[in-house]
A and B are shown apart, each in its own frame.
Chain A
């Protein structure tokens, strides 16, 4: 268990979620999703997974850069943003699995291990 107060974690998570919802409504509008996978309040590092149609819409690379660039500026507690579509492009190791998807297609069905899902 962390020694950090749960309330502070929840508050920061909520601000990250709100930031995404407010500034990137397109993610949801285009059939995608954004979920906070991990948030380390101490180091200010957050990992976000774009899913659904985001995985193959062609806009996600730029959206990822936009999220990274803006979030560190607009949420002072956040120092580093890892964001990817689960294809291993974010620098963390993964199993290399790939499941291309296309705009309008939703392929997210095997999730649910941890972390709250952003409501969009």
Chain B
């Protein structure tokens, strides 16, 4: 288990790259099994590529780009379905971050 240091997370891509990879990959695989693969790929490639995990107040949060709906151009999906799937994806990503870094949610 990673000995998590919040200060080092400021430079997460230097200090915690393998852990972040693990978290993203696990979340992606879970979502890919549960939801439409095309939609998950679209979210992955066109929305999450401008996202960033941040750690504050004892928990991980995924910062999404401002206009996720506009970014998704490769998949036709209604807003409601996209919102629900994206919300679930973000939840899964945050849960994976807590799991991978061994940090319990407050």
- Chain B residue with the shortest CB-CB distance to A93: B73
Bound CA–CA A56/B49 (angstroms): 12
Instruction: Answer yes or no: A75 CB below 8 A from chain B CBs.
Output: no
Using a Cβ–Cβ cut-off of 8 Å, how many residues does chain A contribute to the interface with B?
25
Q: Is the beta-carbon distance between B13 and A60 smaller than 8 angstroms?
A: no
Task: Please name all residues of chain B whose beta carbon is closer than 8 Å to the beta carbon of A98 when the two chains form the complex.
Answer: 38, 41-42, 74-75
Q: Is the interface of B mostly helix, strand, loop or mixed?
A: helix
Which candidate, B1-9, B23-31, B79-87, is the interface stretch facing chain A?
A: B23-31
- Chain B residue with the shortest CB-CB distance to A85: B45
Q: Is the beta-carbon distance between B73 and A100 smaller than 8 angstroms?
A: no
Using CB atoms and an 8 Å cutoff, list the residues of chain B in contact with chain A: 13-14, 17-18, 20-21, 24-25, 27-29, 32, 37-38, 41-42, 44-53, 71, 73-75
